[in-house]
Structure 1
């Protein structure tokens, strides 16, 4: 009887233990499922790496932020993912340096800002700016968490340039009028009192001063306009009508480069500020004509500029595109083309695209800049903006 009772007790204990294990496993599965749900819905990117920098697991946020199909490269080094070679190597270096610093300073994580550039010749908005934090996990694994801070960086740069523009406009404008008046007064006082050769020199010198003062005033006005760009007054706007209106300024027979126009009659009204969008069209056409004319002079071939509108495939947005046959953008310029004073021109402030970018941001428009590649060679540049339809507040 005692043996039977002992056996029954042991059987019950095994059953209780099995039940406890099953309960624990169920709790672990639930916790794992909850963790996976959290990771899948995080806006932050999360990557788990091994000590060699190989990707063990990722979440959808990582794919979205880095714009790379990370899940397809699990088991491979992060630096081997197309477009992420520099990023992967930098992250590995950060972890290697952290091994030393953790022992010396007792740190539990590292944090660093990275700037990533998309592969190819295009630029969508700006380069990807991310801030990443890394930490060691049990079992020689490494955790990398990061966020896209591109909009924050862009806003900080725009604010800084706005302050620079305001100060330049104030400091430069004050002495310009006295300089011009003094030169003109000097010419009036000396006119007719000097010999003909000296008179010619005087007239030419005064004209040079006045012309340069006028150029400086235009420069100041451009900086002032950039710094004081008003908030957009968003209303339904006929983009095709605006393009047609602005093109009248470029239709003269003596225009250096003819502009080809391709308007999509299906385009519905967009949500925008008519005055600001008119300025966008003008800036893009002026830049395109300058670029096409510069290349035409160097090659002897006629330059081309095309402006077109198109209703997107989804029917939810309208795209405005301006392309030229100019020399395109060098890679270092392409990455920073929307920043003020970044330009390839010998003359100019580089504010044209900066203003376009600022207006695009006000409208919530998507902007893309790229070199046009034909037969493997750069055949010009292309700028596209995608506007929301009237009534669409997204």
Structure 2
């Protein structure tokens, strides 16, 4: 029952399973035992050990049989029940081969006796204490049978006729010593094998835990939506995560080994602020302007902290950074909106205070002017005309003030954008005096939810400015396209006010007005939406400011791209209407 329990295996041995691996190891152990036996047999012949012809033949036939059983065992490994049938067969075969070798090489004086210990050792390693005890017991029994057989052979030949019973006692003593040694080896080997297996399992578990922890750390760092890099004590980059590659446009290989200031100029100053021991107040976060190799200009929010080693010593720094360009734009737009609102309120109050006196001045001058030639001389008439003209211009300017400061709420409808673009280009055709090529692009079925009159005002204003920027002629392109709103973490919070955030989580329509004119410098581009800022000789500086307010009131955005000598493009972004054109 113990033998069956020891070698009981599943009905089918899966390749790569522990039972399969154990069977393979046993076959190799048997092969090693056979090779060692052959080597010893050849050594006995070489050193001139006296063996009879039958003993020599018995040794070599035993070795041949051992190689044969190795082949059989290797073939058995391919079977479905390899472990179940192979393991007991192999151990029994090994004990039988060792016993045969001992018998044919001198019996109790044989040099092959130590092979019993070898069989017991690998039985202990492969099967534990129970396997060691079974192997030791089988070896003890086989060795005892061999001793009795050789003793009886000697008695039959008369070799012990004069020795009485003493040789039997000596034989039993030899057997007892060998049996005790085998069991002792079995116990010690099984104990050591058990400890080795336990240590191996603990080591495998630790290695598996370490691998899972390493994989978790790797996945966590790679999943961060922030750039992360590590530095050595000299400020040289030692590691770079994928988000850092995306933000900076630099690969891991191109960044590692570079000083931090070469990758992110100005970041090295944060490393010193991360060290309170230097007597400086730590800077939790800083914003740095950053220009990528592809020319894109970004703003980065950068923070640094000390990287500690295993013993708590300072081993470098960890730098975390995010692309906060959209946040900077949001803050800039918010400041602009606050300024525009303040200016608008002031303009409204001033306009009301100025408009009534202007009406009185204009009326009075017109009455004087209508008094007749005998009353008004030519010079006075000319001056009166100037006063009337300028009061009318001032009144128009005040009207623009009021329109800007208190725009009427948009009466939103579903508007087909391409139709409005075509209307604007048709109206512009009558005002063009130079060689201007106009083009309208985009699908016919895109709708926005907007006030039609205000949308026409915006497009007319942008297109008129584009024509004025091309005094020698050029190309004017008006286009409409559908785009997905930016769903990034920062952009999700980006909106003109809280009520508009939901709109910017949906699809948007991009309406573009692009010219091939003179373009604008970055300084001008930063101020074009400010009220009263203008580059025209007779401009009021309220046209683009009004465009901005209308875009804002529709829950949209207005963007500008421009470069001196390469033209300008304005992009109006409005929420897409849900209804489709039928």
> Structure 1 length normalisation: TM-score?
0.71
- For 1:367 and 1:289, locate their aligned partners in 2 and report how far apart those are by CA, in whole Å: 19
Q: Give the conservation status (yes or no) of the 8 Å contact 2:234–2:316.
A: no
Which of 320, 323, 348 is the aligned partner of 2:514? 323
Answering whether residue 474 of structure 2 is matched by residue 304 of structure 1, we say yes
1:362 offset after TM fit, Å? 4.9
Higher helix content, 1 or 2: 2
Moved more, 182-191 or 154-163: 182-191
Q: Deviation string for 1:282-307 (max 9, x for gaps)?
A: 22202201211xxx3xxxxx322412
Are 1:382 and 2:558 matched, yes or no?
Answer: no
Change (3 A) 1:389 1:213: closer
Specify the alignment match of 1:112 in structure 2: 286
State the shift of 1:136 in Å: 1.8
List aligned pairs for 1:117-132, cutoff 5 A: 128-132=298-302
Q: 2:220 aligns with which of 38, 48, 60?
A: 38
Q: Report the CA distance between 1:151 and its aligned residue.
A: 5.4
Residue deviations 1:328-353 (CA, integer Å, cap 9, x gap):
11133335555655553343326527
Q: Deviations over 1:28-65 (max 9, x none)?
A: 3323333333333333333334455544434444455x
Q: Which residue of 2 aligns with 1:214?
A: 395
Aligned residue among 331, 341, 345 for 1:153: 331
Q: Secondary structure at the match of 2:424?
A: helix
Bigger drift between 127-136 and 323-332 goes to: 127-136
| 1-structure distance, mates of 2:245, 2:567 | 31
Report the secondary structure of 1:323's partner residue: strand
Q: TM-score, normalised by structure 2?
A: 0.51
Does residue 141 in structure 1 map to residue 324 in structure 2?
Answer: no
Structure 1 residues 94 and 119, CA gap change in structure 2 (3 angstroms) = same
Extract unaligned runs of 5+ from structure 2. Answer: 1-182, 309-314, 485-506
Distance 2:553 2:231 in 1: 36
Partner of 1:282: 460
Matches within 5 A, 1:328-339: 328-334=519-525, 337=528
Residue aligning to 1:299: none
* Alpha-carbon distance in 2 for matches of 1:104, 1:46: 26
Matching of residue 103 in structure 1 with residue 278 in structure 2: yes
Give CA deviations for 1:211-244 in whole Å, capped at 9, x if unaligned.
Answer: 452243144135325xx57578473x42221111
Structure number with greater CO (CA < 8 Å, separation at least 6) is 1
Superposed CA offset, 1:43-99 (max 9, x none): 3333334455544434444455x3634546321345545xxxxxx122122223444
Q: Residues 149-207 of structure 1, C-alpha deviation per residue, up to 9 Å, x if partnerless?
A: 24542452343134224323333212221330342355367666976366246515523
Alpha-carbon distance in structure 1 between the residues aligned to 2:330 and 2:443: 36
What secondary structure sits across from 1:43 in the alignment? coil
How many pairs align?
362
Instruction: Work out the CA distance in 2 between the residues paired with 1:57 and 1:350.
Output: 51
**Cα drift, residue 279 of structure 1:** 3.4
How far residue 245 of structure 1 moved from its aligned partner, in angstroms, is 1.4
Which structure has the highest strand share of the two?
1
What is the aligned-residue RMSD (CA, Å)?
4.4
Q: What's 1:91 paired with? A: 267
Larger Rg: 2
Contact kept in structure 1, 2:509 and 2:573, CA below 8 Å: yes
CA 1:35 to 1:304, structure 2 compared with 1: closer, same or farther past 3 Å? same
Q: Superposed, which structure 2 residues align to 1:364-383 within 5 Å?
A: 367=559, 369-371=561-563, 378-383=565-570
Q: Report the Cα distance in structure 2 between the residues aligned to 1:339 and 1:262, rounded to whole angstroms.
A: 29
Does the 8 A contact of 1:260 with 1:305 survive in 2? yes
Q: Is the 8 A contact 2:509 2:576 kept in 1?
A: yes
| Distance across 1 between alignment mates of 2:522 and 2:556 | 26
Structure 1 pair 357–306 and aligned structure 2 pair: CA distance change class (3 A): farther
Retained in 2: the 8 A contact 1:320–1:385?
Answer: yes
Deviation digits for residues 360-386 of structure 1, max 9, x if unmatched?
A: 8956678451338xxxxx242233457
The DSSP-based 3-state class of the residue aligned with 2:279 is: helix
1:84 aligned residue: none
- Pick aligned residue for 1:268 from 445, 452, 464: 445
Q: Secondary structure at the match of 1:146?
A: strand
Give the structure 2 partner of residue 375 of structure 1.
Answer: none
**Matches for 1:157-168 after TM superposition, within 5 Å:** 157-168=335-346
Equivalents in 1 of 2:209, 2:420: separation in Å? 62
2: CA distance, partners of 1:38 / 1:11: 40
Instruction: Give secondary structure in 2 for the equivalent of 1:333.
Output: helix
Q: Distance in 2 between matches of 1:26 and 1:361?
A: 59
Indicate which of 541, 544, 549 corresponds to 1:349: 541
In structure 1, runs of 5+ residues without a counterpart are 82-87, 297-301, 373-377
With over 3 angstroms needed to count, the CA separation of the structure-2 counterparts of 1:353 and 1:143, relative to structure 1, is same
> Separation in 2 of the partners of 1:54 and 1:271?
51
SS in 2 for 1:255: coil
> Do the aligned partners of residues 273 and 181 (structure 1) sit closer, same or farther apart at CA in structure 2, a change above 3 Å counting?
closer
